[in-house]
Amino acid sequence: MKIFITGGTGYVGSALVEKLIGAGHQVQALARSEASSARLASAGARPIRGELADVAVLRAAAEAADAVIHAAVDYSMTPESDATELAAVTALTQGAGAGDAAKPVIYTSTGLVYGFDPAQDTDEGAQLPELSAQPVKARAERIVLAAPGITPIVVRAGLVYGRGGSGLVTGLVDSAVRTGAAAYIEDGANTWTPVHVDDLAALYLTAVRSPVAGAYNAVGDVPFSFRELAEAIAELTGAQPVSVPLAVAEQSYGPFAHVLRSSSRTRADKAKRTFGWAPQAAGLIAELRAGGYHATVAAAQASARA
C-alpha cells in the first residue's frame, strides 16, 4: 500500500514509518524541513515538503495515497495550533474521501479526551465531556468519524513510552537530574495504563491492513502509579522521590498538575477484539528498571553539566 503519514519524524511517527516500511508498504511523509526530509529518506520514506498548515499539500497527498495516518501531535493548545489541527484533519479526510474506495484514515488521539471526572465512562462509545486536557482532539475526532467516503479510525492512545522517549517521562527525568528530586503529587497512588510505542505501531499496522471504522482505546496491560514512576526515576538518576502537595505542583506544572494527579481507566478490549492486537511490553516501570532509559538519563546529566 501507498501510505501518507504526518508526523513521520516524531516519536510515534518514526516508529510507524519503520514498521510500515518493514512490512513492505510505500511510505510518503510530510516533511517541514530539509533535515526532516533527510531523516525520512534515510528511513526509506519519500518526503513531501510542507507543513500542517499547507492544506492543499495534505489534500493532494491524501488523495494520491491508499491510506492516511495522522500522527503529528501538537500539545501547545493555542488557538492557532488548534485551528491548524482542525484544518489539517479536514483536508486529509477530504483528500482521502475524494476517490471511489473507502480508504482508511487513522487519527492519533489520546485517552485524555475522557476528561477528569472519575465517573466518566471511558468506553469508546461514550459521549466525551466538553472539559478535558485535549478538547481539540475530541473536535478533530468528530471530523474524522463523520467524514464521508473513508474508513475512519480513531486511536485514543494512553501515555506512549519506550525507546527512551515520551515527553512526559523524559521531562520527569530531566527535572529529577536538575533538582535532585523525583516528584509525585500527594500520595502518588493515581494510576495510568501506558502503551509501548512498538505495540502502538503494531496496532496501526494491523488497522491499516484490515481497517474497521470506529474509535479504539490503545493501552497496554500493565498500569503504573505515579509514586512507582518517581521511585524508578529516582533509582536511575540518583534523585530522591519526593511527595509534593497539589498546590506546589500547580506552581511548577500549572493546570497540567491536575492531569498528573488523575487516574486513567481506559481498556483496550475493543482494539484487541477487532484487530487481534496483543500488547507485548512488560510495562513502563519494568522498561525503566531494565535500562531502556539509560541513554535518556545520560543525555539529561550531560545537559545539566553543560
Q: What's residue 2's pLDDT?
A: 98
List of domains in the chain = 2-157 (3.40.50.720), 163-192+222-264+282-305 (3.90.25)
- Is residue 75 predicted with pLDDT exceeding 80? no
Confidence of residue 147 (pLDDT cuts 50, 70, 90): very high
- Say which residue, 287 or 259, is predicted with more confidence: 287
**CA-to-CA separations, 305 to 34, 150, 170, 175, 177, in angstroms, rounded:** 31, 51, 17, 14, 10
Contacts of 181 (CB under 8 A, 6+ apart): 175, 239, 240, 241, 242
**Is residue 63 within 8 Å of 28, Cβ to Cβ?**
no
Query: Mind listing the pLDDT tens digit for each residue in 279-291?
Result: 999 999 999 999 8
Q: What is the pLDDT of residues 239-257, one digit of tens each?
A: 999 999 999 999 988 888 9
- Give the tens place of pLDDT for each residue, 80-111: 999 999 999 999 999 999 988 899 999 999 99
Measuring CA to CA, how many Å separate 50 from each of 156, 240, 297?
26, 45, 33
Tell if the pTM clears 0.75, that is, is over it. yes
Q: What is the pLDDT of residue 22?
A: 97
* Phi, psi values for residue 252, rounded to 5°: -85, -40
Helix (H) / strand (E) element for 297: namely helix 294-305
pLDDT bucket at 77, cuts 50 / 70 / 90? confident
